[in-house]
Amino acid sequence: MDGILDVLHDVMSSPWLYALVFALAMLDGFFPIVPAETAVITAGVFAASGQPDLVPLVAVAAAGAFAGDHVSYALGRAAGGRKPTRNRAVAWARSAVAERGGLMLVVARYIPGGRTAVTLSMGALGYPRARFTAFDALAAVSWALYSALIGYFGGAAFEGDPVRGLLLGLGVAMSVTLVVEVVRHVRRRGRATQGPTPTKESVSPGISPTGR
């Protein structure tokens, strides 16, 4: 354990850490098994002890997430009409984009697989790039702040014991994800119980990219 902590201390004090965080946050945008959030939370834990610096950490995490989302959007745009329908995450994303537009970019950050599904779907549906960029900037910054501050406060709560700080941060992140999933499940059950409600999308061909 001491050896692992020594390696983590070396990584966290390296100037290359910021490049690593940027790369992980970017790759996570279109390759969702990359542990970007865990990396940012871990860096946040160590930031409570002074290294790395919290503000640059948030900045590079947000920039990486922003870049990765735009890669995913571009991939969706290139796919055009070839939109998969059997993938539940993608089917949910298409419906959510049609109903609520860019606000789903923020919520999707806390749903497993939701971020990539939403950004791909927004590209495939032709959601306006300017609006996507504006909403995605908000989503990327909020995610970076959330992840880094969870780690930071965990590290501050267990100063001198980064392992406990990291466990606390990861526990909080998992709890938030669980709450979002439970709320989404309850709302979906409620809609299923009430039956389908006629909407503009249900009575007209196609889906409006702006949900209006």
Torsion of CA 1, 174, 37, 48, to 10 degrees: -60
Q: Between helices 54-79 and 36-47, what is the axis angle to 10°?
A: 170
The residue ranges of every structural domain in the chain are 2-203
pLDDT tens per residue across span 47-103: 988 889 999 999 999 999 999 999 999 999 998 755 555 566 666 666 767 667 778
Contact partners, residue 49, CB within 8 Å, separation at least 6: 155, 159, 162
pTM: 0.76
* Residues lower than pLDDT 70 in the chain: 1-3, 81-94, 96, 98-99, 177, 180-181, 184-185, 187-212
**Amino acid at position 164, single letter:** R
- Please tell me the predicted confidence (pLDDT) of residue 203: 40
